[in-house]
């Protein structure tokens, strides 16, 4: 399994000097889309007989490989790996055109969704067509900005409970593990009105194993059965996570409906009560799993990188803490936390630019022929959208390796539309984006109220590892001191 992980191509790719900081307008199809002969493919790496060597390269270092191909061939790159024709799109206008204008011509990559479905079932993450639309429509109101404000007191309470367990001072605190436990607890309270408690470490390990095995399987055309002896760790991880959901589901069903709390599980069970054919209990399980995994993992990953950015940029941390202190004056954050703390919000947005939790969106498959810029692509073309490359491009973000939260100030000159898209775009934009941003702002504010974060003496910059989400290759530790 080790060879299938995808480490970055430099010790810290997001803070290293890029060789291609010069503007590459000549490579950008949106700058001057000259017509292309019908049937022609964009430039790309030499594939050889099958192109499978390109697939092996991507499996070892996906982000570094795609960055190299962008430098060599431009913003629309053809990657031939038999039997697929894949197009890597790193032009923001064209990426947005795919996700917004052509959304009805695209489905998510079948292989990717089949791997996710091993845990997520037929949830809103993996479904397509009418099934997806009905699920999204039913779930959307609970994740709207106004609805999210009602979650803020619960997020603040969970954060206060967690921070009460942190030491006052520690030279090497496991901040990544602590933040992961916290975000798990937050989502458990939202879903089940219960705390993660003693199951946190077991669930954290299970998520890590499930992510690593899923990432490995992306690069194979098919998966061997999970009963194979060497897949014991994957089987156990899936069982741990499914048991976690099932315990809470059965406990809720054992209670009278009049005693159900107002949480996500109760809302899903009422959908089941009203239309059991459309919302069978398995659908309830699937949505709970997706909410648990997506609701804590990407948030924990972003907060981990935010903590690193704060520790390695003390001036930005001091400015954020000063704003938190002046606005909150020791109080817990309220529902207007993002508007009240614009600089803190900008530090999170800049963290998402440097370290997008999902640096490559789930690939899309064209169901029919479509035009994109000067190109006309046939049905079944696969499109890859590495948002990280767009967010690290000097054309859209000058000095792309620098941590500069002022990029996101209201009066700042904004980048090309679509260049910053850590949550995706179009109808399948991340359902929980408002919840994630609000939750992260609450947690970040409360951390800064109590602690100063710094880099432990002699510690090197963390190396990024992509296993579905972007995390440090080794769990991140930072120094804590009282604020």
What DSSP assignment string belongs to 164-176? TTS-S-EEEE-HH
pLDDT at 35: 67
Are the CB atoms for 238 and 293 separated by under 8 Å?
A: no
Per-residue exposure over 420-446, b if at least 16 CB sit within 10 Å of its own CB, e if not: bbbbbbbebebbbbbbbbbbbbbbbbb
Are the CB atoms for 124 and 132 separated by under 8 Å?
A: yes
CA 204, CA 198: separation in Å to the nearest integer?
11
What is the domain partition of the chain in residue ranges? 2-482
Q: Name the region of 184 (left: φ>0; alpha: ψ -120 to 50; beta: rest).
A: alpha
Distances (CA, A) of 300 to 288, 297, 304, 444: 18, 5, 6, 11
pLDDT at 9: 36
Place of tokens 């609970």: 142
pLDDT at 30: 45
pTM: 0.90
Distances (CA, A) of 404 to 15, 320, 416, 433, 453: 12, 13, 17, 22, 18
Structure tokens at 152: 């803020």
Dihedral angle at the C-alpha atoms of 344, 350, 355, 356, nearest 10 degrees?
90
Determine how β-strand 84-89 pairs with β-strand 382-385: parallel
pLDDT at 10: 33
Place of tokens 């809302």: 267
Identify whether 349 is preceded by a cis peptide bond (ω within 30 of 0): no
Classify domain 2-482 by CATH architecture. Orthogonal Bundle (1.10)
Are the CB atoms for 192 and 248 separated by under 8 Å?
A: yes
pLDDT at 8: 38
Distances (CA, A) of 71 to 77, 252, 258, 370: 10, 54, 60, 25
Exposed (0-12), middle (13-18) or buried (19+): which is 225, by Cβ within 10 Å? exposed
Per-residue exposure over 346-359, b if at least 16 CB sit within 10 Å of its own CB, e if not: bbbebbbbbbbbbb
Place of tokens 């579905």: 468
Could you read off the pLDDT tens digit of each residue along the chain, which spans 483 residues?
A: 222 333 333 333 333 333 333 334 434 444 455 667 767 899 999 998 888 999 999 999 999 999 999 999 999 999 999 999 999 999 999 999 999 999 999 999 999 999 999 999 999 999 999 999 999 999 999 899 888 999 999 999 999 999 999 999 999 999 999 999 999 999 999 999 998 878 888 999 999 999 999 888 888 877 888 888 888 999 999 999 999 999 999 999 999 999 999 999 999 999 999 999 999 999 999 999 999 999 899 999 999 999 999 999 999 999 999 999 999 999 999 999 999 999 999 999 999 999 999 999 999 999 999 999 999 999 999 999 999 999 999 999 999 999 999 999 988 888 889 999 999 999 999 999 999 999 999 999 999 999 999 999 999 999 999 988 999 999 999 999 999
pLDDT at 224: 81
172 phi/psi in degrees, rounded to 5: -155, 65
Residue 17 DSSP symbol? P
146 phi/psi in degrees, rounded to 5: -65, -40
pLDDT at 386: 97
pLDDT at 34: 65
Sign of CA dihedral 268, 271, 276, 279: negative
CA 305, CA 176: separation in Å to the nearest integer?
9
Exposed (0-12), middle (13-18) or buried (19+): which is 239, by Cβ within 10 Å? exposed
Dihedral angle at the C-alpha atoms of 420, 422, 424, 430, nearest 10 degrees?
-140
């Amino acid at each position: 399994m080790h060879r299938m992980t995808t480490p970055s191509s430099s010790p810290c790719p997001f803070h290293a000097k890029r060789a291609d900081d010069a503007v590459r307008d000549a490579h950008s199809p949106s700058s001057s889309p000259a017509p292309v002969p019908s049937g022609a493919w964009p430039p790309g790496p030499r594939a050889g007989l099958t192109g499978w060597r390109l697939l092996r390269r991507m499996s070892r270092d996906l982000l570094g490989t795609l960055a190299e191909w962008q430098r060599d061939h431009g913003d629309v790159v053809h990657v031939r790996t038999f039997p697929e024709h894949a197009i890597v799109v790193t032009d923001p206008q064209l990426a947005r055109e795919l996700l917004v204008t052509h959304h009805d011509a695209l489905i998510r990559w079948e292989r990717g969704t089949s791997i996710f479905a091993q845990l997520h079932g037929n949830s809103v993450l993996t479904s397509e067509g009418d099934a997806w639309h009905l699920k999204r429509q039913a779930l959307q109101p609970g994740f709207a900005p106004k609805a999210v404000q009602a979650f803020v007191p619960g997020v603040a309470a969970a954060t206060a409970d967690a921070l009460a367990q942190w030491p006052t001072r520690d030279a090497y605190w496991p901040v990544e593990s602590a933040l992961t436990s916290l975000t798990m607890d937050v989502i458990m309270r939202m879903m089940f009105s219960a705390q993660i408690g003693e199951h946190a470490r077991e669930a954290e390990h299970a998520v890590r194993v499930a992510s690593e095995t899923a990432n490995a399987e992306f690069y194979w055309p098919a998966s061997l059965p999970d009963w194979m002896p060497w897949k014991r760790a994957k089987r156990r991880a899936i069982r741990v996570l499914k048991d976690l959901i099932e315990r809470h589901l059965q406990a809720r069903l054992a209670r009278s409906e009049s005693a159900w709390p107002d949480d996500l599980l109760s809302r899903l069970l009422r959908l089941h009560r009203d239309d059991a054919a459309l919302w069978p209990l398995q659908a309830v399980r699937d949505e709970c799993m997706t909410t648990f995994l997506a609701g804590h993992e990407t948030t924990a990953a972003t907060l981990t990188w935010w903590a690193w950015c704060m520790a390695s940029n003390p001036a930005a941390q001091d400015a954020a803490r000063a704003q938190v202190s002046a606005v909150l004056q020791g109080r817990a954050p309220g529902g207007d936390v993002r508007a009240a703390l614009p600089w803190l919000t900008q530090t999170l947005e800049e963290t998402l630019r440097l370290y997008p939790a999902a640096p490559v969106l789930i690939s899309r498959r064209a169901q029919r022929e479509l035009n994109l810029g000067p190109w006309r692509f046939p049905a079944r073309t696969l499109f890859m959208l590495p948002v990280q490359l767009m967010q690290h491009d000097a054309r859209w973000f000058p000095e792309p390796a620098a941590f500069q939260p002022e990029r996101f100030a209201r009066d700042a000159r904004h980048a090309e539309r679509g260049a910053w898209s850590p949550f995706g775009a179009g109808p399948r934009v991340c359902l929980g984006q408002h919840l994630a941003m609000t939750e992260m702002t609450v947690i970040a504010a409360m951390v800064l109220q109590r602690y100063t974060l710094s880099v432990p003496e002699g510690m090197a910059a963390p190396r990024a590892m992509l296993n579905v989400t972007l995390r440090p290759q080794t769990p991140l530790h930072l120094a804590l001191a009282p604020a």
